[in-house]
Amino acid sequence: MRRTILTLLVIAGSVTIRAQDIGPSTVNAAGGGGIIGTNEFDWSIGEISLVSTFTVGSIVVTQGVLQPFDAWPVDIGTKALLRQLRVFPNPADAVVNIQYASSTEGSLKYQLTDVTGRIVQNGSEGIHAGILNKQLNISLLACATYMLEVTVSSKDGARESTSFKIEKIH
C-alpha cells in the first residue's frame, strides 16, 4: 500500500501541466477601413510594426489583427444579407452609425448591450430599397465595451444576425 502511494506521488510529481499562451499580442488604439474605387483597405493604429506571414499550401498564418483573407467566405453559410451592413465609427464617442444598403424590403433590428448583458438600447427599422442610416446616440453611456447585435430580415423570410464589439471612448 505504501509503495503504491509512493509510486503515485512520484508519477504525479513528474507530470507537467501547461496552458495556452496568447502572447505576444497587440491592442489597437483605433482602426477602420473603406473602399476606393474597386480596392478595399483596412488600417489600424497600434498594430505591431513587423508582421510575419507563413504559408504552407493553402494555409496562411499572419500575426497581428489585420488578416489577409476575405471576411465573407463563399460557402453554404455565406451571409448574403449582411454583406451590405456597415457599423462605424469604432471606437466612437457620441454616435454609432448602422448603415445598410438593400435592394428589397425587410427589417433591421438592433440591440446594444453592456458587458453584463444588460440591454442599453434596442430598436427596429423598416428597410426599403436603398440605404438605411440609423444613428445610435451613445454619448450618455459610460466609456466601456458594448456588444451590438444586428439582425436583418428580408421580405421573403430570410434572416441573418451578426454582432459587433463597440468601444465607447471619451
Report field, pTM of the whole predicted structure over 0.85: no
Residue 56 lies in a domain: yes
Residue 67 has pLDDT above 60, yes or no: no
Judgement on whether residues 62 and 97 belong to the same structural domain of the protein: no
Average pLDDT, integer, range 37-50: 64
The CATH code of the domain that includes 133 is 2.60.40.2550
CA atoms of 100 and 134, how far apart (whole Å): 9
Residue 25 lies in a domain: no
Residue 148 has pLDDT above 80, yes or no: yes
- pLDDT tens digit string along 110-137? 999 998 999 999 999 999 888 999 999 9
Q: Which residues of 93-130 are buried (b: 16+ CB within 10 A; e: fewer)?
A: eeebebebebeeebebebbbbeeeeeeeeeeeeebeee
| pLDDT band (50, 70, 90) for residue 26 | low
Residue 142 has pLDDT above 90, yes or no: yes
Domain-ending residue, one of 70, 99, 120:
70
Helix (H, G, I), strand (E, B) or coil at 115: coil
Residue 18 lies in a domain: no
pLDDT for the residue 104:
86
Judgement on whether residues 84 and 157 belong to the same structural domain of the protein: yes
Residue 8 lies in a domain: no
Residue 151 has pLDDT above 90, yes or no: yes
Helix (H, G, I), strand (E, B) or coil at 12: helix
State how many domains the chain has.
Answer: 2
